[in-house]
Structure 1
Amino acid sequence: MIKIIFVNLHRMGFIERFTKKMKICEPDKRYRYRYVQISDSGMEFLQAKNELD
């Protein structure tokens, strides 16, 4: 589960993964990503007050 958690979060749109050259990775391709950034929808999910938000 740990191996694919970043892939799943990327597919859901909660994070964005980047290569070492700061190019964004596509969710369905295999990359050696180096950097991760929380996306806007990920921040909204983290700051939600209840389950319906």
Structure 2
Amino acid sequence: MLRVASQVSDNLFQMSLDYLVEPCRREAIRTEAEEQVLFLFTGARVLQALGGE
């Protein structure tokens, strides 16, 4: 989970720059960020349950 948290942090930092520079896309950027967080943590949890890392 620590690896996923690091990846999420990096992605959200990059997306925050887009959020600040592109105000007209803020809703889309926020939605994309939420989806990425859910996908990454869900995927990590599934892999963990299957005996992966």
Question: Counting helix residues as a fraction of each chain, which structure ranks higher?
Answer: 2
TM-score (norm 2): 0.28
Larger Rg: 2
TM-score (norm 1): 0.28
